[in-house]
């Protein structure tokens, strides 16, 4: 994946917790199979979880879905899920690093760890999305994405299974979009297929 493409953004990161599987089940299958960037996802899960999430979404989505692996180079059109009990970091060369260092915001994987490192790697060319969840993980990372010039989308807390996570973003700053789940996938498609820039 080159440093530049014809689009405004080079990657998407998504963070969610309680209620996240249902939320992702509405968004991910609606994303166009031609998506020219990778998507990295932290779903708070038990350390003992198996590969059910990856198998489930790979069947559901037109994009390739896999578990993130150490030193893997990010590829367009692939959805990467954080493996159980590992933080996912994005390096400056846009490869993945996995870490089992201490929990952040009581979580491993942590949304903030992914969002912050992705923001350092992609700068203004990053989209961050926060969905339903019960704590504040991802709020600081979302703010970093916004400050770097990236785009931040959150699920409308009124439509969230658990409103705390998107509310924690609103308490820190004003995101670019506050949307019900059904509108997030179509927005991503519009960003990449209706508004290319040189």
Out of 44, 110, 112, 142, pick the active-site residue.
44
Q: Which two tokens stand for residue 116?
A: 């912050």
Determine contact, residues 63/77, Cβ cutoff 8 Å: yes
Active-site residue flag, 44: yes
What burial letters (b/e) apply to 94-110, b meaning 16+ CB within 10 Å? bebebeeeeebbebbbb
Alpha-helical regions (H) of the chain:
20-27, 52-60, 111-122, 139-147, 164-172, 181-193
Out of 10, 107, 119, 137, pick the active-site residue.
137
Q: Which two tokens stand for residue 54?
A: 């990856």
Active-site residue flag, 22: no
Active-site residue flag, 93: no
Out of 10, 17, 112, 168, pick the active-site residue.
17
Among all residues, which ones are annotated catalytic?
Answer: 17, 44, 137
């Amino acid at each position: 994946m080159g440093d530049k493409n014809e689009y405004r953004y080079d990657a998407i990161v998504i963070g969610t917790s309680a209620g996240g599987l249902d939320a992702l089940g509405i968004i991910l299958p609606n994303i166009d199979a031609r998506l020219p960037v990778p998507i990295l996802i932290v779903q708070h899960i038990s350390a003992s979880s198996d590969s059910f999430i990856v198998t489930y979404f790979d069947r559901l989505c037109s994009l390739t879905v896999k578990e993130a692996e150490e030193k893997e180079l990010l590829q367009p059109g692939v959805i990467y899920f954080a493996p159980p009990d590992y933080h996912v970091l994005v390096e400056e060369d846009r490869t993945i690093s996995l870490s089992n260092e201490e929990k952040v915001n009581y979580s491993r994987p942590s949304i903030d760890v992914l969002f912050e490192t992705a923001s350092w790697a992609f700068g203004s060319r990053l989209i961050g999305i926060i969905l339903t969840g019960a704590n504040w993980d991802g709020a600081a990372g979302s703010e970093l994405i916004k400050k770097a010039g990236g785009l931040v989308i959150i699920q409308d807390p009124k439509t969230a299974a658990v409103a705390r996570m998107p509310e924690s973003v609103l308490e820190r700053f004003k995101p670019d979009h506050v949307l019900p789940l059904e509108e997030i996938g179509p927005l991503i498609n519009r960003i990449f297929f209706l508004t290319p820039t040189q």
